[in-house]
Structure 1
Amino acid sequence: MSSLLLVTAAILLISSIKRPGHFGALFLFGYPIAQLCGVPFSAPFSALAVSMLILMHLAKDHRTFRHLHISIVDKTVAILAITILISALFAPSTAVSFPSYISLMSQLGAGYLIFRLSFSLAPLDKTSREFLIACSILSATTSIVFIGSGQATSWGRFKLEDGSNISVGITQALGTAAIATIYLISACPIRRIFSILLLSTSLALSVYAINLTGTRGSLLAITAGSLFIIIKLTSSRKMLRKLTITVVTASVAVFIYSQVNDIDLFAGRLFKFESYGSIYDTSSMERIYRIRNALDIIDSNIILGVGPGGFDYLTDQDYPHNIFLDIATTGGLLSMAAFLFLIIITVSTCAKKNILKARDHFVGVMALLFATFIHYQVSFSLEHGKPLMLIATIAAATSITNKGRVIAPGVKKFSGGNSGVRPA
C-alpha cells in the first residue's frame, strides 16, 4: 500500500516543474513519506528540489541571481542561524552541539531555499493554490496508507505495525493539510460538486487518522485554523454556507466509515477531555516536567542558551514541546529576539501588502501557518519544525524584487477562485 504514496509523491514532483508550489508540500510531508514507505526521502528530495528550482530560475532569466533582492527576511533568517551557531560554540558539550547544529541547518536551510525559490518563481496566488492542493492530495494518500498500515493499541491509540510512536509526527502533517483542505473547499465554487466531494473525502480521511492516533495538538491546530478561515472569509452568507457544508460532509463521511468498520469514534484518547493536563495523563505530565526543565535551563543560560541538542544532553528529554521554550533553551535571548523579529516582519509584510484583506489563496496559506503555530505551543521540535521556514519565506515572497520588477506581487480581491495579480 505504501506504493500509492510513493507514486503520488513522484507525480507531484514531476508536475512541480510546471507547478512549483508542489515542492513545499512534498518537503512538509517528507517525514510521513519516509516513515510509511521505509525509504530515505527528505535529504535526497531536498537536494533534488533545490537543484531543480535553481535551474528553473535560471531558465526563466539567467540574470535572476545576479539581481535577486536580499530582503530583510533573508537577513533575519541569517541572523537567527548565526545566533544559534554562537550558542553552539559556547554549549556545555560542543561534541553534541556541532553535529546537532549541522543537522538543524541542513534541514532548515533546505526548507528555506525550497520555499523561498518556489514562491518567487510565480505569482503568489498561483503558487499558494498549488501548495494547498498538493497538501490536500498528500494528506489523503498519507491517511489511506497510515490507516492501512497501523494497528490499535490497548490504551486507545493507533500506531504503526512496528509499535513505534512515530504516528504522532505523521499526524502533525495531516493537521496542517486539513486546514489547507478546509480552505480549498471554502474557496471552491459550489457548482463544482465533484471537487468539493473529493476535498471533503480528503478532509474526512485526515481527521479520521488524527482521531485514531489521539494527537490532541492536531485537534487544537485544526480548530485554530478553522476559526482563522471563518473570521477572514465568512463576511458573506455564501461562504458561511460552504463552510457548513464542508463540516457536515466530512463528519458524515467519518461517521459512515466508523459504522462500517464498527469503530467507536468517541472511545479514543482525543475526546477524553478530562485527561487534558491531568496528572493521570502521562503525556500531559511529561510536558509539564519538560517545561519546568526548560525554564530552569533558561534561568541559568539566559543569554546564549545551551546550544542545539543541549536540552536533550542535560535532561535526557528530546525537546520541550513548545516553540518558544525550544528556541530559548537552544539559543537564549539572542535567538529568541531574532525569532520574534522574524514573526513581526512576517505579519507586518503581509499587512503592508494588504494580503490578509484579499480573498486570495494566500489567505489559506496563512491559515495553515496560524494553525501550525498554535500547534507548536504544545508540540514542537526545532529540528523538525519545517513550517518554521515557511513562515519566513511567505513574507519574503511578498517583498522580493528582481531588477525593479515584483516577482510575487500583491493581489487583487478574490473573484471566483482565480485571483489576478498586479504589480505592487
Structure 2
Amino acid sequence: MLAFGLLLICIAVGWRRPGFLIAPLFYGYTADVLGAPGGMSTAIVSASAASILVIRQWRSLASMRFTALDLAVLAFLVWHSISATWMPNANYGAGQIPNLLMSTLSVYVAARLLGRLPGPSDRANEVAWGFALLGCSMAVLLTTEGSFVDGRLRFGDASAVGLAQPFPLAALAALFLVLGTAKPTYRSIAFVCFIVLLYTSIISGTRGAVLALAAGMVTFFLFASHRQKLITVMIGVLAAVVGGACFIMMGLGAETTLRVFELDSYGSARDASSLDRLIGYEQAWHLITNSPLFGSGLGSFAYYAGYDYPHNVFLEIWSQSGAIGIFLFIFVAILFIRRQVIATRLFHETIIIVVLVAAGFMQQQVSFSLPIGKTIFLIGFFSAYVPLLRGGGTGSVTGASMSAVELMASAKSART
C-alpha cells in the first residue's frame, strides 16, 4: 500500500511540477508487487497523468497538430495491431492489442503533452527528479521487503525482469542530477539516490539492467562531448563505473557479473536464460522466414513459442508484423533522432530524455516485449518540439511544428 501511496504523491506533485508525472508510469508493476490494491496501479497513474496534462493545456489543445513523428508512431502501432487479423488464432491476437496500445500510448501521449508545456529544460529536470526520488523510494522498499535467491534480488513469484526495468533508468536520472545540479544539498540528495539505484540495478541480476546503464552512460558522454561539461561528465561516468565495481568486489551483485560477463555460464544450470534466448531467436527467425513481408501476426510468437517475447525488439516486430513493421519502426527512429538533435542543442537539459530512451532501447535488445519496454515511447517529448528560447518568458507553446532551420535560426538570434 505504501508503494501505491508513493505513486499518488508523485502524481500530486505533478500538478505543479508536470515532469513528475512521467516516472509513475514505469512503477505500476512494482507497486502492484509491493501490495497495491486491485493490481491496477499502471492504469490509475496513466489516466491521472494524462488527465492532469490535458487540464493544464486545455485551451491550447485545439491548436495542436499532428506531426510527422506522431503520424509515424501511429502508423507503426496501427500496422502492428492489425497484424493480429492474419494470425491463425485471431482471437488470441486481438487480445494482445489492448495491452500494446494502452502501454505504449500512455507513455507517448504523456510525453507528447509534457513537451508542449513551456520551459523544456525545467520539464526535463522534473522528469529526472521524478525518476530519481520515486525510484530510490521503491528501491528501498523492494530491497528491505524482498529476499536474495541465488545472489539475486527477488520478491516472491514476481518477475525479476519487470521489477528491474525502471531502476537503471532512475539511476541514470540521478547521475544526470548529480552532474548538473548546482545546489550542494540537491546534489547530495541526487548522489544518495544514485548509489541506492546503482546498487539495486546491479543486484537485480538482469542483463538488461546492466546494459541499460552502460548505454545510458555512453549516450550521456556522447551528447555532452560538445559542451564545457565534458570533464564533469567523464568524471561522473568513471565514478559510476568505479562504484559498480566496488559493489561487485564486496560480493554484491556477483551473480549478475557472472551472468553478464562469464560466457562459459551461458546455457548452464546457473544461467539457463541464455539458452532460452537462443531458442527464442531461432523461433522468431522461423516465423520471419515463413512470412518475411507481413509477419505472422501480433501475438504469434507467444502463441507458437509459449513465451511472451523473443528478447529482442527487432525480432519481435519482424516476426509479428513483418518487414513493413520493421520499416515503420526504423522510420520512427529516424524522425526522433532528427528532432532530438535540434532539441538538445537548444536545451541541453533535455539530454536526460534521450539518455532514458537509449537505455530503454538497449534493454529491449536482450529483454522485454514492446509493450513492457515502453521507455522508447518517451520520444513523444520531442514531437512538434516548439521550445521557448532561454529567457523567453512564460508564453505558451503551441502545437505547431517548426523546421530545423527555423529552430536553429531562433537559437542563433537568441544568442546574439
The CA distance in 1 between the partners of 2:62 and 2:228, in whole Å, is 49
Deviations 1:40-77 (A, max 9, x none): 2011222222222222211xxx2x23221111111112
Contact 1:135–1:180 at 8 Å: present in 2 too?
A: yes
Aligned in 2, Cα 1:113/1:266: closer, same or farther, shift over 3 Å? closer
Counterpart for residue 186 of structure 1: 179
The CA distance in 1 between the partners of 2:158 and 2:401, in whole Å, is 48
Counterpart for residue 157 of structure 1: 152
In the TM superposition, residue 18 of structure 1 has moved relative to its aligned partner by: 1.6
The CA distance in 2 between the partners of 1:212 and 1:412, in whole Å, is 47
In the TM superposition, residue 231 of structure 1 has moved relative to its aligned partner by: 2.6
Which amino acid is the alignment partner of residue 306 of structure 2? Answer: D
Say if 2:8 is the partner of 1:10. Answer: yes
Output the TM-score relative to the length of structure 2. 0.86
Say if 2:81 is the partner of 1:93. Answer: no
SS in 1 for 2:154: strand
Say if 2:294 is the partner of 1:304. Answer: yes
Aligned in 2, Cα 1:276/1:287: closer, same or farther, shift over 3 Å? farther
Which amino acid is the alignment partner of residue 73 of structure 2? Answer: V
Deviations 1:172-213 (A, max 9, x none): 100111111111211123xx3322221111111111112222
In the TM superposition, residue 359 of structure 1 has moved relative to its aligned partner by: 6.1
The CA distance in 2 between the partners of 1:404 and 1:268, in whole Å, is 50
Q: Which moved more, 1:242-251 or 1:275-284?
A: 242-251
Q: Which moved more, 1:231-240 or 1:326-335?
A: 231-240
Deviations 1:367-387 (A, max 9, x none): 121122122111121121221
Contact 1:124–1:397 at 8 Å: present in 2 too?
A: no
Output the TM-score relative to the length of structure 1. 0.85
In the TM superposition, residue 140 of structure 1 has moved relative to its aligned partner by: 0.5
Counterpart for residue 172 of structure 1: 165
The CA distance in 2 between the partners of 1:359 and 1:110, in whole Å, is 25
In the TM superposition, residue 411 of structure 1 has moved relative to its aligned partner by: 9.1
Which amino acid is the alignment partner of residue 294 of structure 1? Answer: A
2:332 aligns with one of 337, 342, 345: 342
Counterpart for residue 23 of structure 2: 25
1:269 aligns with one of 256, 263, 270: 256
Counterpart for residue 395 of structure 1: 382
Contact 1:204–1:250 at 8 Å: present in 2 too?
A: no
Which amino acid is the alignment partner of residue 170 of structure 1? Answer: L
Say if 2:187 is the partner of 1:196. Answer: yes
1:111 aligns with one of 90, 107, 122: 107
Alignment of 1:67-82 (within 5 A): 67-82=63-78
The CA distance in 1 between the partners of 2:204 and 2:262, in whole Å, is 17
Pairs aligned (count): 397
In the TM superposition, residue 165 of structure 1 has moved relative to its aligned partner by: 4.4
Which amino acid is the alignment partner of residue 324 of structure 2? Answer: L
Deviations 1:350-372 (A, max 9, x none): 23x2x333562101211121122
In the TM superposition, residue 264 of structure 1 has moved relative to its aligned partner by: 2.1
Which amino acid is the alignment partner of residue 196 of structure 1? Answer: R
**Uncovered stretches (5+) of structure 2, i.e. residues with no partner:** 388-396
Counterpart for residue 235 of structure 2: 244
Alignment of 1:308-327 (within 5 A): 308-327=298-317
The CA distance in 2 between the partners of 1:25 and 1:46, in whole Å, is 10
Deviations 1:150-191 (A, max 9, x none): 1111x222201x2x24232121100111111111211123xx
In the TM superposition, residue 32 of structure 1 has moved relative to its aligned partner by: 1.8
Which amino acid is the alignment partner of residue 56 of structure 2? Answer: M
Aligned in 2, Cα 1:208/1:389: closer, same or farther, shift over 3 Å? same
SS in 2 for 1:308: coil
Q: Which moved more, 1:140-149 or 1:116-125?
A: 116-125
Aligned in 2, Cα 1:249/1:88: closer, same or farther, shift over 3 Å? closer
In the TM superposition, residue 16 of structure 1 has moved relative to its aligned partner by: 0.9
| % identity of equivalent residues | 22
2:319 aligns with one of 322, 326, 329: 329
Aligned in 2, Cα 1:402/1:235: closer, same or farther, shift over 3 Å? closer
The CA distance in 2 between the partners of 1:141 and 1:412, in whole Å, is 43
SS in 2 for 1:152: strand
Counterpart for residue 416 of structure 1: none
Alignment of 1:278-293 (within 5 A): 278-280=266-268, 281-293=271-283
The CA distance in 2 between the partners of 1:403 and 1:209, in whole Å, is 39
Aligned in 2, Cα 1:47/1:254: closer, same or farther, shift over 3 Å? same
Contact 1:312–1:319 at 8 Å: present in 2 too?
A: yes
The CA distance in 2 between the partners of 1:338 and 1:214, in whole Å, is 33
Q: RMSD of aligned C-alpha atoms? A: 3.0
The CA distance in 1 between the partners of 2:283 and 2:302, in whole Å, is 10
Aligned in 2, Cα 1:104/1:266: closer, same or farther, shift over 3 Å? closer
Contact 1:200–1:246 at 8 Å: present in 2 too?
A: no
Say if 2:396 is the partner of 1:382. Answer: no
Say if 2:50 is the partner of 1:50. Answer: yes
Deviations 1:275-326 (A, max 9, x none): 4772323111110100010011011021222222211111111101111111
Deviations 1:219-271 (A, max 9, x none): 1111121122223325677652465367548966995x999xxx622532334
Contact 2:65–2:400 at 8 Å: present in 1 too?
A: no
SS in 2 for 1:158: strand
The CA distance in 2 between the partners of 1:412 and 1:37, in whole Å, is 52
Counterpart for residue 392 of structure 2: none
SS in 2 for 1:48: helix
In the TM superposition, residue 34 of structure 1 has moved relative to its aligned partner by: 2.2
Aligned in 2, Cα 1:229/1:171: closer, same or farther, shift over 3 Å? same
Contact 1:349–1:399 at 8 Å: present in 2 too?
A: no
**Uncovered stretches (5+) of structure 1, i.e. residues with no partner:** 414-418
Contact 1:358–1:412 at 8 Å: present in 2 too?
A: no
SS in 2 for 1:122: coil
The CA distance in 2 between the partners of 1:77 and 1:320, in whole Å, is 22
